Amino acid sequence: MKKKILLIGAFGLLLGLILFGGHSLFRTIQKQSQKPVSMIIASDIHYLSPEYRGEYFKEPSAIFDGKVIHYSPEFFDAFLAEVIDKHPQTLILSGDITLNGSMKSHEEVVEKLKQVQAAGIDVLVIPGNHDVFTTAGDYTPDEPVVVESTYAEGFMNLYEDFGPAQAISRDTETFSYIYEATPFLRILMLDTNCISKGTVLPDTLRWMETQFQDAKRAGADVIAVSHQNLHIHSELLYFTYQMYNADELLALYEKYDVKLSLSGHIHVQSIVSEETSPGTTIPEVAVGALSVCGTPYGELTYNGKELTYQTVKTDVSSYAAKQGWTDENLLDFNNYSYWFFEEVGRLQTFEGYKDSELTAAEITLLADTFAKINSAYFAGDDIDQDALADGIALWSKQENGFFYKYIQSMLVEDAVDNQNITIDLTKN
């Protein structure tokens, strides 16, 4: 009798394993045969209402980091038109939506995003450090005038319909939420700015772990989106760019096999894909700022087998022509945005070396070389080191100061493809 019971028990266990295995296999087949999902992500738009953009923003020397803020309404409209034309399932904005968090700028962005959702595209938003708790300004006078800013509660109310309303779960402490793109793909939109700047709160970490556990039980992959970076993308530019408790976050991502981290903030189009621990890789794409060097954004495709990311530059010029605009800068915007960014770099170099013993011709060579390397680096383009060999040789003799170290770091990091990545999801 005991043997019979044991045999029945063993058979039941075997049958359960077969059924479970069959269900798991069926889910895998479903996952890997699903229709591809397309997404577009942009970061660091730094939109400024046309009512607030005055003469102050028309000189390159006024914008120390080369953002083309004086054309933000135009390039943002061009970008959104491109999004609607491509019609992805989802548009993701990973923070710094506005230049300085002015209520008017946010309100104008919300009206524009309503048009995207009206076209049948879900819009997912998280705040950046420029979106809340900042001093907003009107730049139409000769000197900036303080205007109404947006705080955490105001941001949350304004953007309720862009992510939280479509979420399957929401954090009670922050603007963080989970969006289900398909039954097999979930997107974590992680807010690190409404309540705490650059830090993931303990309660939010606990909420995240619960959501990762739910995703694992459902057999769903997870993509994480934040404003600040998970990884260090520059050996010189990482303090305040990387999240302050990134190690805790990384440990959680590794534990639950998060497939990709997407961020912005640093303005550099950069991909980090090295092992984070033996046998484990959590790649991160820091999406280049929409407001610099060619107005770049990212296109993602997920099909259950692969997750791909590629960098695309907004065709502002074609949009300008269709609108009948006559501004030559807008009609040649890709080149103009590079020129503007490079001009800032030149001005910075001239200022830094104005009291040096170098000749005017040497300083000009340094300035031109720095400008070209810096713009290529920010855009994630290849740096043409052969064409810039004379300037690089001269820079190599300036062995002190930030500029020298920065040049060297950009040249070292040039060996990586910072515009494309494909992640094999079939590997365990």
For range 229-255, the mean pLDDT: 93
Question: Tell me, which fold does domain 37-319+417-424 have in CATH?
Answer: Purple Acid Phosphatase; chain A, domain 2 (3.60.21)
> For residue 6, what pLDDT is reported?
44
pLDDT score of 131 more than 90 = yes
Task: Identify the weakest region by mean pLDDT among 72-86, 117-131, 143-157, 184-198.
Answer: 143-157
Structure tokens at 141: 């006078």
pLDDT confidence bin for 365, thresholds 50/70/90: very high
> For residue 21, what pLDDT is reported?
53
- How would you class 20 by CB atoms within 10 Å of its CB: exposed for 0-12, middle for 13-18, buried for 19 or more? exposed
- Angle ∠(221,223,227) on CA atoms, nearest 5: 165
For range 54-72, the mean pLDDT: 79
pLDDT score of 57 more than 80 = no
> Please, what is the average pLDDT of the chain?
90
Higher pLDDT, 335 or 56: 335
Q: Which residues of 116-154 are buried (b: 16+ CB within 10 A; e: fewer)?
A: beeeebbbbbbbbbbbbbbebbbbeeeebeebebbebeb
pLDDT confidence bin for 239, thresholds 50/70/90: confident
pLDDT score of 283 more than 60 = yes
pLDDT score of 43 more than 50 = yes
For range 323-343, the mean pLDDT: 97
What is each CA distance from 289 to 24, 97, 192, 227, 397, in whole angstroms? Answer: 41, 10, 18, 11, 32
For range 35-59, the mean pLDDT: 89
Structure tokens at 212: 């990762």
| CATH 1.10.246.180 residue spans of the chain | 330-415
Higher pLDDT, 40 or 4: 40
Which has the closest alpha carbon to 80: 20, 162, 138?
Answer: 162
For range 273-282, the mean pLDDT: 85
For range 289-314, the mean pLDDT: 96
pTM passes above 0.85 = yes
- Top CATH class, 330-415: mainly alpha
Specify which residues 189 forms β-bridges with. 177, 225
pLDDT confidence bin for 15, thresholds 50/70/90: very low
Task: Identify the weakest region by mean pLDDT among 56-60, 124-128, 290-294.
Answer: 56-60
| CATH 3.60.21.10 residue spans of the chain | 37-319+417-424
pLDDT score of 331 more than 80 = yes
pLDDT score of 7 more than 60 = no
Q: Which long-range contacts (CB under 8 A, 24 or more apart) does 17-24 make?
A: 24/219
SS3 of 309-365: EEEEECCHHHHHHHHCCCCHHHHCHHHHHHHHHHHHHHHHHHHHCCCCCCCHHHHHH
Task: Identify the weakest region by mean pLDDT among 13-17, 19-23, 123-127, 335-339.
Answer: 13-17
How large a percentage of the chain has pLDDT more than 70?
90
> For residue 60, what pLDDT is reported?
67
pLDDT confidence bin for 2, thresholds 50/70/90: very low
pLDDT score of 309 more than 90 = yes
Residue 306, φ and ψ in degrees, nearest 5: -135, 155
pLDDT confidence bin for 414, thresholds 50/70/90: low
Residue 303 one-letter amino acid:
N
pLDDT score of 130 more than 90 = yes
> For residue 278, what pLDDT is reported?
85
pLDDT score of 418 more than 60 = yes
CA pair distance 85, 77, nearest whole angstrom: 12
CA pair distance 124, 101, nearest whole angstrom: 18
- How would you class 372 by CB atoms within 10 Å of its CB: exposed for 0-12, middle for 13-18, buried for 19 or more? buried
Please state whether beta strands 306-313 and 420-424 pair in parallel, antiparallel, or not at all (unpaired).
antiparallel
Q: Which residue's structure tokens are 């484990």?
A: 280
Q: Describe the crossing of helices 333-352 and 316-323 by its angle, rounded to 10 degrees.
A: 120
Structure tokens at 87: 């019609």
For range 169-177, the mean pLDDT: 96
Q: Which residues of 60-82 are buried (b: 16+ CB within 10 A; e: fewer)?
A: beebeebbbbbbbbbbbbbbbbb
> Are 230 and 251 in contact, with CB atoms under 8 Å apart?
no
Residue 160 one-letter amino acid:
E
CA pair distance 268, 375, nearest whole angstrom: 9
